[in-house]
Structure 1
């Protein structure tokens, strides 16, 4: 009797290729709208409105985007664990992914209608879009352990991040061309920005079709007892939500049984906050401290995006040789060097500034991609959604530590140089905690090979 070929690796590769496209889809919205266009546009809309009052207090237009992002961050941190529990208990994960993505894209598209002082539309739309972005990211990351074996996850995660940076950089280049050359296209600058934000939302929605069609439904496994005997579909969506609350509570009580996963989450809290703050502060540092104009900053943003594509692939290959943990630690050392160099970078020194941008691009995509795949080794089968929801909640719920540190040091010293150098503490603490993570023990605790 002839042996039957194992077609599972072939099916996994097909799902992996489809999965990459969700990073491509949502990264364009993150890069073009969240990072570049939203804050200045909402400020300009709010400046045309009557005095803004929230919860009985006056709000300056310039502070409004920060409050919007903070509100969406807090709500995301509260809601994502429930989203993760629902993802673990449903067979229809790809539809859940697409549903959150399309809801977020629809909310993002409403930014087009934030005009004539109507800042409320922009604020509410962005809060909803950010929450849906986090929810879809939780479900998307939960697919990684389902479509890739332990030994293959660094490669798969790195390619997903690389795809994301390539897609985000491509749309950002088009967006900046439209905005900067708006007269050439017969557009006002305001209309160019509005159309660019709409295009990013359409991009997000359109490319989500690829993972929806290419991924497969994966039934729940190893469910945590929650007092519900019907699991997924027999009692409808209401029963699913009730059972998910039960699973979430059971998992929270059970977290102490996964000390290595918890230690990694704590390490991630610090080093990821450092990374996010460097990215947040880079344009301010380049303009206010080093004296570069808008064109140089825009060019540097694009440089970082496209270098990050190759950086993610490079880190994936290095991880295959020496292991993800070592490569992440090496990346954190490079981040320490970056903020140290920034402390002494001369004003108007273009070549060193661009070289620093290249260094950021190399470690940016690679560090984040490997953090995702490494964490997947430390989480138990069947609870991917919940654990990745904690991962995203840790990212969103604590992402203000770094910016607070940056702001306080600037307030004390009146210089951005010590402010950006102070972020080295986040990489040192994050690296020290990561050194305490025993990979083999963590995988045994989670029941992984």
Structure 2
């Protein structure tokens, strides 16, 4: 036996897999850092500060006072009159639709490239650079904020396509749920920590010798800097992995990527269980996103809580979701990710039903509801990512995760539309929040129709011990 053979085999010729497993564990820890990095942008910028600040800046341009609660005056965007108070909602809708069109092409390109981590980091740094321009949105100059948010949100989605695809390279089928859950938990922790810092700076701006608007602008800048800085860790520590099962196509890389995407779309009917899960995810994820969006409106307008209580609830949900993601990871290890996701949809049904009858100004019950949201929020999202990875044919991770993100983004407006319509027809937010149960019912319906083991085998992957 040669020296090399002795280094790779133990007694009886059994290979020593310890170095391989240790290397994979290091890769997984490096991968988790990108959840930590990008979550700051999604929490501080997109979820909390950008929308209200854009409404204020655009409101000035429209002629509204800074003290006006809702500015219904308009500014012209490409010649179209848009109410200043609803500009961020329209902007989000346009960005998500464009993302749904762009991401599948990005995914096909990533699948053919041996440098997924480079794609992930490049999109992240370009997105962070775009997001940093929000610092210069002041006075009545809303245009730079619109451009900044549009490009940064699309680039964030592009980076996630490559990031999700790397999950398959660094973990076995049995490890996916735990790895994804740790990453999602890490993201909630990182995003929550920066959000705490930024909300303290915004609420106590006088203590720091700055006005509130400067505090908001610095917070937006900090989220971009956090995103860019912490992306360095996975970029340096992650390896690049060679593409697998690449479809032969003619032409340059860009041309071949289009060809592979067309081939994949034609082959989708061969994976009925994968398509069934995408339908389920489309519905229950839209319900989740709408509950999160509507929670602050419901808490303030229907339940009568002031801004300080809502801020505390947002922060509490962030940190509870950290534990929730880890809890669901352990749940999946025992019962499987498929069952855990399905159970999660039933919990969401209970949450929206309970929210409908939640007493006004009852703080303990309101916070208890927030805890329930936090527990199931991180878990269902983390396991959805890992379970879907099992339904993807090898070598097509980028494209299929692009379709996954496109399904999420392309319909993320539907839940808010239902919420708004029910409120408009009923005049109350209680039936509006309960109406969201239909999204979880439909999600559960398609999940029940799904055979997880058959779907994993259809994709050519090994079925984990528990699914």
Match of 1:385 among 386, 395, 398: 398
2:342 equivalent to 1:319: no
2:25 equivalent to 1:13: yes
2:50 equivalent to 1:43: no
2:436 equivalent to 1:423: yes
2:349 equivalent to 1:336: yes
Task: Tell me the CA shift for residue 436 of structure 1.
Answer: 1.2
CA contact (8 A) 1:225 1:250 kept: no
Aligned twin of 2:12: none
Task: Tell me the CA shift for residue 439 of structure 1.
Answer: 1.1
Map residues 132-151 of structure 1 onto 2, 5 A cutoff: 132-151=155-174
Task: Tell me the CA shift for residue 316 of structure 1.
Answer: 0.3
SS in 1 for 2:461: coil
State the Cα deviation string for residues 364-393 of structure 1 (Å, max 9, x = none). Answer: 000000000000000000000000000000
Aligned twin of 1:252: 265
What is the rounded CA distance, in whole Å, between the counterparts of 1:55 and 1:123 in structure 2? 12
SS in 1 for 2:239: coil
**Which structure 1 residue ranges, 4+ long, deviate > 6 Å from structure 2?**
none
2:77 equivalent to 1:65: no
State the Cα deviation string for residues 91-137 of structure 1 (Å, max 9, x = none). Answer: 01111100000000000000001112111100000000000010011
What is the rounded CA distance, in whole Å, between the counterparts of 1:165 and 1:131 in structure 2? 21
What is the rounded CA distance, in whole Å, between the counterparts of 1:76 and 1:340 in structure 2? 32
Map residues 195-234 of structure 1 onto 2, 5 A cutoff: 195-228=218-251
Task: Tell me the CA shift for residue 67 of structure 1.
Answer: 1.5
Map residues 350-369 of structure 1 onto 2, 5 A cutoff: 350-369=363-382
SS in 2 for 1:48: helix
Aligned twin of 1:373: 386
What is the rounded CA distance, in whole Å, between the counterparts of 1:64 and 1:226 in structure 2? 43
CA contact (8 A) 1:405 1:422 kept: yes
CA contact (8 A) 1:270 1:426 kept: yes
What is the rounded CA distance, in whole Å, between the counterparts of 2:157 and 2:389 in structure 1? 17
Map residues 103-182 of structure 1 onto 2, 5 A cutoff: 103-182=126-205
Aligned twin of 1:75: 98
Task: Tell me the CA shift for residue 214 of structure 1.
Answer: 1.1
State the Cα deviation string for residues 414-442 of structure 1 (Å, max 9, x = none). Answer: 00000000111100110110111111111
SS in 1 for 2:76: strand
Aligned twin of 1:433: 446
Match of 1:194 among 175, 195, 217: 217
Aligned twin of 2:65: none
Task: Tell me the CA shift for residue 52 of structure 1.
Answer: 1.3
Task: Tell me the CA shift for residue 71 of structure 1.
Answer: 1.4
Q: Structure 1-normalised TM-score?
A: 0.97
| Structure 2: tracts of 5 or more residues without a match | 10-14, 63-73, 463-467
SS in 1 for 2:208: coil
Match of 2:76 among 53, 58, 80: 53
What is the rounded CA distance, in whole Å, between the counterparts of 2:343 and 2:145 in structure 1? 40
Aligned twin of 2:294: 281
RMSD of the TM alignment (CA)?
Answer: 0.9
Q: Structure 2-normalised TM-score?
A: 0.93
What is the rounded CA distance, in whole Å, between the counterparts of 1:52 and 1:211 in structure 2? 42
Aligned twin of 2:410: 397
What is the rounded CA distance, in whole Å, between the counterparts of 1:400 and 1:128 in structure 2? 19
Task: Tell me the CA shift for residue 227 of structure 1.
Answer: 2.9
What is the rounded CA distance, in whole Å, between the counterparts of 2:101 and 2:410 in structure 1? 8
State the Cα deviation string for residues 147-166 of structure 1 (Å, max 9, x = none). Answer: 11000100000000000000
What is the rounded CA distance, in whole Å, between the counterparts of 2:406 and 2:313 in structure 1? 29
Map residues 236-275 of structure 1 onto 2, 5 A cutoff: 239-275=252-288
SS in 2 for 1:184: helix
What is the rounded CA distance, in whole Å, between the counterparts of 2:139 and 2:77 in structure 1? 19
Task: Tell me the CA shift for residue 225 of structure 1.
Answer: 2.8
- How many equivalent residue pairs? 439
Task: Tell me the CA shift for residue 60 of structure 1.
Answer: 1.3
CA contact (8 A) 1:81 1:389 kept: yes
Task: Tell me the CA shift for residue 55 of structure 1.
Answer: 3.9
Map residues 78-93 of structure 1 onto 2, 5 A cutoff: 78-93=101-116
What is the rounded CA distance, in whole Å, between the counterparts of 1:58 and 1:279 in structure 2? 28
SS in 1 for 2:61: coil
What is the rounded CA distance, in whole Å, between the counterparts of 1:8 and 1:378 in structure 2? 25
